[in-house]
Chain A
Amino acid sequence: EVHLVESGGGLVQPGGSLRLSCAASGFTFSSYAMSWVRQAPGKGLEWVSSITSSGVNTYYADSVKGRFTISRDNSKNTLYLQMNSLRAEDTAVYFCANGGIVVLDVWGQGTTVTVSS
């Protein structure tokens, strides 16, 4: 069974940094593109970033481009999202999902990021 577990969320001050992780199991991680999607409190889903199976190609929403970096370690079956220069509007639950920009298959339960002073 596919299982995705996010971690690394928390409270951070504006301008700060945070790194999210997503531990994957139950499928051949290195064969799948992966993505991050976020949901601000009371709002809808927003695609954030995707990475190809090899990690060679990455894609970002305009709202996070230049501040967030997606990466993966296929030897550890883990997806990452490095978030820098955080803003209040980045406050959200961050979900990882297996799949790229085309189709998202299975989603994790999410980790909460709060940006506040």
Chain B
Amino acid sequence: NFILTQPHSVSESPGKTVTISCTRSSGNIASNYVQWYQQRPGSAPTTVIYEDNQRPSGVPDRFSGSIDSSSNSASLTISGLKTEDEADYYCQSYDSNSGVFGGGTKLTVL
């Protein structure tokens, strides 16, 4: 198995752009799709990005995902930050027999 490492927390001001990284410890990040989930306090997670860079219907295009093989990492970028984006964000990938979550990043919009 591999580990997905995320920064513990990030903060940015409303209207700005923030990027959250997710680094895979072993194996090629591009070998398996990466998903991103948003979890607001007291709520269940929701999917904001799937298959590296696809947005589910209803997710604004301010949310985007990408993969960088050179750093073996995935990124979630949120532009035009709103206070409602304040939440925990988790990346997720998998291998042949198991799912793997990153440790989560707390996004503060202040």
List residues of A whose CB falls within 8 A of some B CB.
Answer: 35, 37, 44-47, 50, 59-61, 95, 101-110
Q: Tell me if B64 is interfacial: C-beta within 8 Å of chain A.
A: no
Q: Tell me if B75 is interfacial: C-beta within 8 Å of chain A.
A: no
Option from A44, A60, A103, A106 in Cβ contact (under 8 Å) with B104 = A44
Q: How far is the CA of A94 from the CA of B97 in the complex (A)?
A: 20
A44 touches B44 (CB 8 A): no
Select the stretch in B21-29, B45-53, B66-74, B76-84 that faces chain A: B45-53
B98 touches A46 (CB 8 A): no
A102 touches B37 (CB 8 A): no
A107 touches B97 (CB 8 A): no
B44 touches A101 (CB 8 A): no
| 18 residue pairs A–B, Cβ–Cβ below 8 Å | A37-B45, A44-B102, A44-B103, A45-B39, A45-B101, A45-B104, A47-B92, A47-B98, A47-B101, A101-B97, A101-B98, A103-B35, A104-B92, A105-B47, A105-B50, A106-B47, A107-B45, A108-B44
A58 CB, min distance to chain B CBs, angstroms: 10
